[in-house]
A and B are shown apart, each in its own frame.
Chain A
Amino acid sequence: MDRYAEQRLFGFLARASAALIVAVLLLVVGVTIFRGGRVFLTDPAVAITPPGSRYMLDGGGGFLHAVLGSLFIVVPATVVATTLSLSTAVFLQSDYSSERTSDVINMFLNVLWGTPPIVYGVFVLTVIIAVGAQTSLIFGIVAIAIFQYPIMTRYADEALQSAPDAVKEASYGLGATRFETARVTIRAALPGIIAGVIMGFARGIGDAATVLFTAGRSTQMPGGPFEPATTLPILIFEQAASFNAEVRSHAYAASFVLIVAVLALIIASKLLAGRYARFAPGGRQ
């Protein structure tokens, strides 16, 4: 029976593809954890030690500068991007803009969403050159915030749209203004918005292409908003193929830190979304 053989074949292929992808994930996480973990076993303080003076040559010291650089860049960037993207998402709802307007804005957001991060990096660098500044932490923040903005707007917009209309109607029915109603809607959509913020943070902390030319690639502790800084992804990028085994091992350790951070963020996003689900009508049984 030919058609049943075909059915079995493709059923098998579908299962095999899913298994392959799960296996690849386990391989990637496994290799990262294993290689990075080994470095931490021999030198547990590597992530909280400032770099030595000839860091790129001999890997003396640790990579605290990159850990701090990542935090100092991505945390403020996420705050900025959250404010902007939540505002844009509120504007996209029917209370503030016509369908036509939000269609047009959505079109631009989609283009931004699909824009390769390197373009943002080049853009911010061009601005830096144009204003005659030097690459530094503050421009890293700008670049990451621009990169996060369309991603987080999409999450926020989806979350707001999925908030039940009844919430809005109830609020307007009490005589609330648009802004007051928006605040209620945001509360109802909070699980989705928080999940979006965390995912935006995770994307921001993992991206290298945007900050490569904008944050300044420093091998010293971050000195201030107008001093060059580096981040974990940049460090991994620069040191992964180094000829010095010690320098290379820092890249492994840094990717261990990065992957643990990203996994923790995903779990946090799921947990928090569940916790805040009680604000969403019908969100949790």
Chain B
Amino acid sequence: MDTTTDSGSNAQADRPERLDRRLLIERLSSYWLIGAGLFAVALFALIVLTLVQQSIPIVSEHSLLEMLTSSNWDPASEEFGYLPAIVGTIYVTVLSMAMGTPIAILAAIYIAEYAEGRMKVIVSSFIDVLAAIPSVIFGLVGLIVVVPFVGDYLAPALGTHSIGLGIVTVSLVMAIIVTPFMISLTVESLEALPDELREASLGVGATKWETIRSVLLRAAGPGIFSAILLGFGRVFGATIVPAMLIGGQTAIPESPFDAGETLPSLIVNDFGELMSIPLTQSALIFVGLLLLVIVWLFNFGAMLVRRRLQRRWQY
């Protein structure tokens, strides 16, 4: 702004020059900004192209269907069956979401509809802090607290056996990691609702809970739905916690208390040692591509369903 405010008679002479300079800056900066805007697209395209190109060796050598349905993962003898990791990923995702979602939605309801004043500020800043804690710390606390809890108490209590590391352990920790994200998004969508909705429902004699259940959760439904899908994406792509706590076992788990492997943890556990074998490298890069494609599908599906819900549940 400092260049524009100059005025007075002595500016008469140098005004064209000054204006030229400003316009030059304007033109140069707009090139840069257009470039920055395109960077997002270019980055995405570059990632996809690189991963696709590097995945070609494995896909041309093994049939895709066979890799996705075979349970034999043994890179040393060129066996690349992803099924154990796929099953492990599904197990972990479903279990942590089943535990995390109801708690997240209930806690969000508490913050948005019940809590008042100081309590509300305190609880929401706690949630913010929880969301910011690095996942590797959750992994560490998982090792110190959750592993013995599952191995020594939970598994025996349920009449089964566990070494502590395994799918249940990962799911418990992931449920904790994923709730704060879902809570903040759910709170946001609940708080964005107009008070008239609450008044309209309470005004015909609904209880607070009936208002929440049949009006507010529905009206905020598209936002809550996005929150849940975002949670799915997070658990699904989580790397560090599964790698630390799942026990690294590339066999199809028989029970959720077994050790296993998720797609991302497969990359971590096998990349280091086997980087030198080109085909294994390609097989693991293919996992990266797989993750990207599934997340992309998630996003796209979420967009469609969201639109539908928004139409159906408009207010």
Contacts and interface: CB of A to CB of B under 8 A. Distances in A.
Interface of A: 3-4, 6-7, 10-11, 13-18, 20-22, 24-25, 27-29, 31-32, 35, 84, 87-88, 90-92, 96-97, 101-102, 104-105, 108-112, 114-120, 122-123, 125-127, 129-130, 146, 149-150, 153, 171, 174-180, 182-184, 199, 202-203, 205-209, 212-213, 233, 236-237, 240-241, 251-252, 255, 258-259, 262-263, 265-266
Given A114-B233, A251-B140, A13 B1 contact: no
6 contacts: A7-B208, A14-B110, A115-B47, A118-B264, A180-B4, A241-B244
A171 B285 CA distance: 49
A232 B261 CA distance: 24
Given A25-B130, A105-B40, A116-B264, A123 B139 contact: no
B114 A14 contact: yes
Contacts of B129: 25, 29, 263, 266
Contacts of B134: 205-208, 233, 258-259, 262
B224 interface: no
Given A29-B129, A84-B39, A88-B36, 16 more contacts: A21-B179, A25-B129, A27-B145, A28-B138, A87-B32, A105-B40, A112-B40, A112-B44, A115-B291, A118-B291, A119-B291, A123-B47, A180-B1, A180-B4, A205-B134, A236-B136
Given A90-B33, A179-B25, A119 B132 contact: no
B296 A240 contact: no
B40 A109 contact: yes
Given A13-B106, A32-B137, A179-B30, A119 B237 contact: yes
B292 interface: yes
Contact of B145 (A31, A115, A150): A31
Given A91-B34, A184-B1, A31 B144 contact: yes
A6 B172 CA distance: 28
Interface string B106-143: 11011101110000000100111110111111111101
B40 A108 contact: yes
Contacts of A32: 137, 140-141
A188 to B, nearest CB: 12
B255 interface: no
B51 A116 contact: no
Given A31-B144, A177-B25, A262-B134, A96 B34 contact: yes
Nearest to A6: B209
B137 A258 contact: yes
Nearest to A150: B40
B181 to A, nearest CB: 11
A146 B43 contact: yes
B155 interface: no
Contact of B51 (A10, A123, A233, A255): A123
Contacts of A96: 30, 33-34, 37
B36 A84 contact: yes
B88 to A, nearest CB: 15
Nearest to B41: A108
B266 to A, nearest CB: 10
B240 A233 contact: yes
Interface string B275-315: 00000010011011001100110110000000000000000
A17 B135 CA distance: 21
A7 to B, nearest CB: 4
Contacts of B22: 177, 180
B271 interface: yes
B243 interface: yes
Interface in B177-228: 179-180, 183, 207-210, 212-213
B207 to A, nearest CB: 4
Nearest to A210: B239
B43 A209 contact: no
B86 interface: no
A116 B26 contact: no
Nearest to B25: A179
Contacts of B111: 18
Contacts of A262: 132-134
Contacts of A102: 37
Nearest to B109: A14
Most interface-central of B109, B135, B140, B238 (chain A CB within 10 A):
B140
Contact of B136 (A110, A146, A233): A233
B137 A255 contact: yes
A63 to B, nearest CB: 14
Contact of A202 (B3, B4, B102, B132): B132
A88 B137 contact: no
